[in-house]
C-alpha cells in the first residue's frame, strides 16, 4: 500500500495517549501518568495545535486500514501510530485514555477534568453509559447513532480544545450479528468503514486551521468472530490498535 508506506509509522503505548494529548495542547502532564509518545509530540507540536479531535472507531485497527483501504484516511494521514496495550477493547481503551492506565483516577487524574482545570475546554460525545462512567463530570453529549454523532460533531469540533467522538455503529455490529444472525459481518464492516471515511472527510473540511485529528481504533466492545480464512485470518488476529494522525494546516 504505497500511500501508507509513504507516511511515518510510529510506535507508542495506549497508556501514553493522555500525556501526549496534554503536551500537544501545551499543558504540562502530571508526573504520575506515563510519559507522552515523544515522536508524535515532535511531529506536530512545533506546527501549533489549537484543538484536537479524536474519532474513536470500534473493531478498527491495522488490519482494517490495510485490507479495506479507506481512501481519505490513507490519503491525508501524516502518521500512523501503532498502540501497544494489554487491553485493546473499547472499555479498556477508554480507561487508558482517560486515566493513563488501568487504575480508576490514579492520584485523582482524569484527562478531561485535567484539561478543564487548565482553562481549556473539552467535550465527550458518545453512549450514555460510557459518558456516565468516564466523563468525570465534564461536558458531554449522549448520542445513540452515528448519524446523530456526525451532526453533533459539526457543532462542537471547532468550539473545544479537545473533542472526543465515539462512533457507535461499529460496536452495534456485534449486537446485530447476535440478533439477526447475519452471515457476512465482513461486508457490513466494509460498508461502515467506507461510510465513516466519507463522514470524517466532511468533518476534516469543516475544521479550522491548526487542528489535529486522531482516528483511534480498537478491537471493539466485544470480540466479533469474522469469517476470514488463511493468511487474511492470521493478519487480522495479529492486528493492533492504532491512531491515524491528520493535521489541518
Residue of higher predicted confidence among 132 and 172: 132
**CATH label, 2-248, candidates 3.40.720, 2.40.50, 3.30.70, 3.20.20:** 3.40.720
Q: In the chain, what is the greatest distance between 2 CA atoms, to the nearest angstrom?
A: 52
What are φ and ψ of residue 51, in 5° steps?
-155, 155
Burial class (CB in 10 A: 0-12, 13-18, 19+), 53: buried
Q: Which residues contact 66 (CB under 8 A, 6 or more apart)?
A: 1, 4, 235
User: Using CA atoms, how far apart are residues 87 and 15, in angstroms rounded to an integer?
Assistant: 10
**For residue 1, pLDDT beyond 50:** no
Which of 182-213 are b and which e, b meaning 16 or more Cβ less than 10 Å from the residue's Cβ? eeebbebbeebbeebbebbbebbeebeeebbb
Residue 210: DSSP 8-state: S
User: Using CA atoms, how far apart are residues 130 and 60, in angstroms rounded to an integer?
Assistant: 19
Percent of the chain whose predicted confidence (pLDDT) is above 90: 68
User: Using CA atoms, how far apart are residues 50 and 209, in angstroms rounded to an integer?
Assistant: 8
Segment 153-198, tens digit of pLDDT: 999 999 999 999 999 876 666 555 555 555 566 777 788 889 999 9
Q: Evaluate whether 96 touches 87 at the Cβ level (below 8 Å).
A: yes
- Grid cell of 124 as nine digits: 465527550
Kindly state the average pLDDT of the residues 203-227: 83
- Residue spans of the domains in the chain: they are 2-248
Percent of the chain whose predicted confidence (pLDDT) is above 70: 83
Segment 25-80, tens digit of pLDDT: 999 999 999 999 999 999 999 999 999 999 999 888 887 888 889 999 999 999 99
Q: What is the mean pLDDT of the chain?
A: 87
Which residues of 75-154 form beta strands (DSSP E)?
79-84, 122-126, 140-142
The pLDDT of residue 189: 76
Residue 2: which H helix or E strand, with range? helix 2-6
**For residue 207, pLDDT beyond 90:** yes
The pLDDT of residue 4: 43
Of 184, 185, 195, 159, which Cα lies nearest the Cα of 57? 195
pTM: 0.89
- Grid cell of 248 as nine digits: 489541518
Work out the number of other CB atoms within 10 angstroms of the CB of residue 153.
23
Amino acid at each position: 500500500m504505497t500511500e501508507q508506506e509513504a507516511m511515518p509509522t510510529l510506535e507508542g503505548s495506549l497508556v501514553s495517549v493522555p500525556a501526549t494529548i496534554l503536551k500537544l495542547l501545551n499543558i504540562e502532564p502530571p508526573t504520575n501518568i506515563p510519559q507522552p509518545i515523544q515522536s508524535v509530540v515532535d511531529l506536530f507540536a512545533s506546527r501549533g495545535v489549537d484543538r484536537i479531535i479524536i474519532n474513536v472507531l470500534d473493531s478498527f485497527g491495522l488490519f482494517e486500514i490495510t485490507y479495506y483501504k479507506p481512501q481519505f484516511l490513507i490519503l491525508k494521514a501524516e502518521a500512523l501510530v501503532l498502540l501497544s496495550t494489554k487491553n485493546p477493547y473499547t472499555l479498556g481503551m477508554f480507561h487508558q485514555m482517560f486515566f493513563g492506565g488501568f487504575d480508576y483516577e490514579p492520584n485523582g487524574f482524569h484527562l478531561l477534568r485535567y484539561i478543564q482545570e487548565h482553562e481549556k475546554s473539552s467535550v465527550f460525545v458518545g453512549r450514555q453509559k460510557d459518558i456516565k462512567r468516564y466523563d468525570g463530570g465534564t461536558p458531554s453529549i449522549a448520542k445513540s447513532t452515528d448519524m446523530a454523532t456526525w451532526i453533533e460533531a459539526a457543532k462542537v469540533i471547532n468550539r473545544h480544545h479537545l473533542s472526543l467522538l465515539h462512533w457507535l455503529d461499529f460496536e452495534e455490529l456485534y449486537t446485530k450479528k447476535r440478533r439477526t444472525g447475519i452471515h457476512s459481518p465482513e461486508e457490513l464492516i466494509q460498508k461502515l468503514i467506507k461510510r465513516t471515511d466519507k463522514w470524517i472527510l466532511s468533518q476534516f473540511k469543516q475544521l479550522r486551521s491548526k487542528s489535529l485529528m486522531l482516528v483511534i481504533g480498537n478491537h471493539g466492545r466485544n470480540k466479533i468472530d469474522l469469517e476470514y480464512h488463511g493468511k487474511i485470518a492470521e493478519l487480522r488476529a495479529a492486528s493492533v490498535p492504532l491512531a491515524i494522525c491528520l493535521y489541518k494546516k
